[in-house]
């Protein structure tokens, strides 16, 4: 890493982008071997929030009979009020562009307050059912609160919770394993279409946000969710042997791949590019399998036995080459 930094500095000097005096000052600063612990401190703050909220959950679970429901809800409400009081007091108010708190701890107070709000509403619904049997409202309300906090306080972590809550409201659990195992797309194709529709709406929202310049730095989060939701929903339906609807989902995956290929280059987003390639590769192989599933390969199985390792090794080499070329492109 040190060698790379030195080469980068020399390149800037050779191109005339910095003066010789600036070049010497940069070298002298690097020789001091000063390093930042900002990322480590933020990680510890994030873990502290998770441990704190998890601890409250465990406390409620283990002492629910002795403490009492009203006392637990009151305690949660007080902690939530304290968190948001300090956040609103020290925030710069809503702004369309990217903003930050003067003190980074307040960002994690927003996260803590938001998680506790979700716990409060969920516990309230479980115990007293203020929304009746409309459990979707118990998901929608904290989702709305999360979106408000994400945009008002400009918090990416809270935005992730908000999008996850939105997905849960339409009947999804946004993790690849849960999408495949728990939600059972194969048994309920309407869920697949709902997932694809949600992914499409997230994409449209990023386009609209860019047009009105509203928190455009949130784009990557929305697109990441959209990519995973659309791709997994489409691929899951390739295993439906009772209809030809898998062809429709193959074209949906093709369109998704084309879009995310373009947008990953536009945003120079390595994460989008890598997952786009993986989903496209899986989808392409499944399409080939569906096309040739009724073909008898008994006469050429020996040839296939030798070709398959070459195919997979070649795929790995091609994947690495694509990633290297993309990295070179965004570096330039």
Task: DSSP for 91-128, please give it.
Answer: -----SS----SSTHHHHHHHHHHHHHHHHHHHHHHHH
Instruction: Calculate the alpha carbon distances from 231 to 124, 125, 200 in Å.
Output: 35, 33, 11
Judge whether 102 and 146 are in contact, CB under 8 Å. Answer: no
Q: How large a percentage of the chain has pLDDT more than 70?
A: 75
Has this prediction a pTM greater than 0.85? no
Quick one: pLDDT at residue 29? Answer: 64
Number of Cβ within 10 Å of residue 119's Cβ equals 18
Question: Over the stretch 40-88, which tens digit does the pLDDT of each residue have?
Answer: 666 777 677 777 777 777 776 676 666 777 877 888 899 899 989 989 9
pLDDT of res. 176: 44
Per-residue confidence band for 1, with pLDDT thresholds at 50, 70 and 90: very low
CA distance 68 to 119: 16
Name 256's Cβ contacts closer than 8 Å, sequence gap at least 6.
199, 227, 230, 231, 234, 279
In this prediction, residues 2-7 reach a mean pLDDT of: 54
Ranges 77-81, 173-177, 180-184, 274-278: which has the least confidence: 173-177
**Comparing 118-122, 155-159, 277-281, 326-330, which segment has the lowest mean pLDDT?**
326-330
Q: How many CB atoms lie within 10 A of CB 208?
A: 10
SS3 content of the chain, % helix, strand, coil (to 5): 80, 0, 20
User: What secondary structure letter does DSSP report for 183?
Assistant: S
Phi, psi of 86 (to 5 degrees): -70, -35
pLDDT per position as a tens digit, 247-271: 888 999 999 999 999 999 999 999 9
| Count of C-beta atoms within a 10 Å radius of residue 94 | 12
Per-residue pLDDT, 241:
60
């Amino acid at each position: 890493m040190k060698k790379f930094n030195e080469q980068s500095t020399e390149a800037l000097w050779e191109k005339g982008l910095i003066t010789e005096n600036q070049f010497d000052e940069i070298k002298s600063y690097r020789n001091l071997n000063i390093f930042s612990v900002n990322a480590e401190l933020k990680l510890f703050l994030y873990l502290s929030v998770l441990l704190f909220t998890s601890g409250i959950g465990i406390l409620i679970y283990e002492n629910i009979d002795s403490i009492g429901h009203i006392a637990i809800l009151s305690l949660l409400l007080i902690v939530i009020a304290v968190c948001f009081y300090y956040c609103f007091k020290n925030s710069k108010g809503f702004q369309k562009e990217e903003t930050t708190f003067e003190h980074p701890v307040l960002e994690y107070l927003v996260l803590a307050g938001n998680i506790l709000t979700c716990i409060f509403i969920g516990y309230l619904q479980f115990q007293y059912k203020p929304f009746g049997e409309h459990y979707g409202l118990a998901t929608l309300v904290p989702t709305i609160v999360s979106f408000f906090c994400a945009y008002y306080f400009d918090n990416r972590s809270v935005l992730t919770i908000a999008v996850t809550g939105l997905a849960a409201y339409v009947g999804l659990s946004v993790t690849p394993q849960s999408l495949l195992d728990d939600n059972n797309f194969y048994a309920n194709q309407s869920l697949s279409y709902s997932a694809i529709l949600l992914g499409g709406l997230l994409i449209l929202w990023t386009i609209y946000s860019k047009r009105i310049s509203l928190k455009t730095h949130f784009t990557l989060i929305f697109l990441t969710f959209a990519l995973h939701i659309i791709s997994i929903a489409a691929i899951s339906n390739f295993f439906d042997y009772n209809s030809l609807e898998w062809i429709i989902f193959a074209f949906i995956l093709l369109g998704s791949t084309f879009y995310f290929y373009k947008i990953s280059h536009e945003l120079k987003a390595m994460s989008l590019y890598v997952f786009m390639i993986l989903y496209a590769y899986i989808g392409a192989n499944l399409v080939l399998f569906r096309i040739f599933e009724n073909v008898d390969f008994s006469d050429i199985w020996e040839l296939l036995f030798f070709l398959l390792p070459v195919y997979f090794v070649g795929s790995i080499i091609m994947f690495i080459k694509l990633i290297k070329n993309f990295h070179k492109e965004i570096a330039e």
